[in-house]
Amino acid sequence: MNGTQFSMKTLLFLLPFLALASAQAAEHPSELAPVAPLVGQAWLADVPQPKDAAALQLEAKFDWAENGQAIRFTSAWVRGGKKSPYTSGFYAWNAAKKQIVIFYTDAQGSLTEGSATVENGALVHELSVAEKEGTMTPVQTRLAFKPGGEAWTNEIFIKKDGAWTPFVAVTYARPKS
C-alpha cells in the first residue's frame, strides 16, 4: 500500500468523525440564550426627533456567526427610505469571565466593548465607548422584550456625576410587510 492509498483510507475513515465535530462546533452556546431571540430578523425603531425634523429610524439585524459561537449584528439609520450604516459588532460567551461580552464599532470610528447580564428580565449592558479622539465614555443599556416577543425596548443611559442619566429610549418592532 502506498502513502496516497493510506492517506485516502485514513481520510475516509475520519470523515464521519470530522463531520460530527463540525456539527457539534456549530451548536449555539446556551449562554447566549438571552440574546438569541433577536436573531433571524430585522427590527425597526422610531428615533425621537424634534417636531420639525424628518422622521428617523434605526434598523437592527442579528444573525448567528457561521461557526455558531457568536451573534453578529448590524444597524443602520433610515431616513426617507435611505439607509446609512451605523454599527457592526457581535456578542459572544467569554468562558474565562463567565459572561456575555459585546464588541462593536460605529460609523464614526468609535469602539464599544463591555458585558451583558440578565437583571429583572432585561439584558443589561455595561459598556465602555472608546471615541475616535481617544476619550472613554461609560454607557449602560437595558434591552427588555415586550410580552409576546414581537418588540423590545432599548433604554440608553450615560454616566454623569457618578449616576446613570437617561439618554434615549427606543422600541424596536418587526417591520410591517
* pLDDT tens-digit map of 4-22: 444 555 444 554 544 444 4
Q: Give the model's confidence band at 175: pLDDT under 50 very low, under 70 low, under 90 confident, else very high.
A: confident
Q: Which CATH architecture has domain 31-173?
A: Beta Barrel (2.40)
Q: Give the model's confidence band at 23: pLDDT under 50 very low, under 70 low, under 90 confident, else very high.
A: very low
Q: In Å, what is the CA distance from 55 to each residue of 37, 48, 118, 173?
A: 27, 8, 32, 16
Under DSSP, the state recorded for 3 is H
CB 74 within 8 A of CB 90: no
CB 53 within 8 A of CB 79: no
Confidence (pLDDT) at 87? 97
Residue range 140-160, pLDDT digits in tens: 999 999 988 899 999 999 999
Residue range 41-52, pLDDT digits in tens: 899 999 998 888
CB 47 within 8 A of CB 58: yes
Total-model pTM:
0.82
- Which set of grid coordinates corresponds to residue 121? 428580565
